[in-house]
Amino acid sequence: MQVHEINELSKASLLGEVNEGAGFYLANMSQDDLAQLRALVTEQFLHVIQCVAPEQVAKYRAAGLAHYHEVYQESDFDHGSVWNKASRVLGPKAVEQVAQLGFYQKLTSCLGDFLVSDEEGFSWPGIYWRLVRPGNSDIGPVHADKWFWDLGHGEMPGEPGEYYRLKIWMSLQSQSGKSGLRVVPHSQKSEQWRYHGENKSGKMKPVLDEKEEDLDLVALPLSPGGFVVFHDKLLHGGMPNLGDTSRVSMEFTMLVKA
């Protein structure tokens, strides 16, 4: 599996691998982009803790995101409810800053001015992050992102077929082979995958009707600063975190003019 240099990125190579190839394109952003994304996530992370457990902020700041799980205590706050999706969506100013970064500019020059979906209906581009502690309690089931859209999670702009979706997932903190994202290569070309919707806290979420053990899941070889652009129909999911650091990643859905 080749991890490309960001400067190699072209529309033809990206769409070739995403559509006709294995279903995804791997690349690295610059260390400067990585540092800026980490800073934006850290800012929001601490701000949320300021609101829910002000007396614990200094402890979490000193530990840093990678060591979150080492200092987290249930008596501070409830991990699952505090880190709900809404509290992990970047604010509008942070989104403007992401859009200035080298990797984002490169994507824009290759794909044209894309939109970013706003599933929460906040009225600005929806860029969000995840915090996955070691163990397997913080990951969801394997899925294709298309299933969320088919279950009504977002609205597409324009006329039907005017835009298509591409997802980007970036590692801000992960250990290659131990934590990160896994995918089923070429699964975007198959129509055989079955799922059903389940209501989870008021939202319909897709649940795969196959055993995950029967899928040919492979771990993406990404280090911090590595990212993957993948097909709307590619089967993927978080890896159980077998590492010793909390995993931090960022995602958004690009809506590209067809």
Ligand X SMILES: O=C(O)CCC(=O)C(=O)O
Q: Which residues bind Fe ion (CB under 5 A)?
A: 145
Q: Would you say 32 or 212 has its CB closer to ligand X?
A: 212
By CB under 6 A, name the one of 167, 182, 231, 233 that touches ligand X: 167
Q: Under the criterion CB under 6 A, does residue 249 sit at the interface with ligand X?
A: yes
Q: How far apart are CA 59 and CA 145, in angstroms?
A: 36
What's the min distance (Å) between Cβ of 7 and Fe ion?
27
Whether the CB-CB separation of 185 and 236 falls below 8 Å is answered with no
- Could you tell me what percentage of the chain is helix, strand and coil, using 3-state DSSP and rounding each to the nearest 5? 35, 25, 40
Nearer to Fe ion, 118 or 145 (CB): 145
Among 26, 251, 254, 255, binds ligand X (CB under 6 A): 251
> Among 72, 145, 187, 225, which residue interacts with ligand X (rule: CB under 6 A)?
145
Q: What is the length of the chain? A: 258
Whose Cβ is closer to ligand X: residue 15's or residue 229's? 229
Q: Is 238 in the site for ligand X (CB under 6 A)?
A: yes
Closest approach, Cβ 1 to Fe ion, in A, equals 19
Binding track over 179-198 against ligand X, x by CB under 6 A: --x-----------------
Residue with Cβ nearer Fe ion (49 or 139) = 139
CA separation for the pair 203, 153 (Å, rounded) = 8
Write the CB contacts of 232 (distance below 8 Å, at least 6 apart in sequence): 144, 145, 146, 149, 164, 165, 166, 167, 188
Angstrom CA distances, 162 to 114, 115, 149, 156, stand at: 12, 12, 16, 9
Least distance CB 234 / Fe ion (angstroms)? 9
**Under the criterion CB under 6 A, does residue 232 sit at the interface with ligand X?**
no
Asked whether position 169 contacts ligand X by CB under 6 A, the answer is yes
SS3 191: coil
Q: Which residues bind ligand X (CB under 6 A)?
A: 130, 139, 145, 167, 169, 181, 236-238, 249, 251
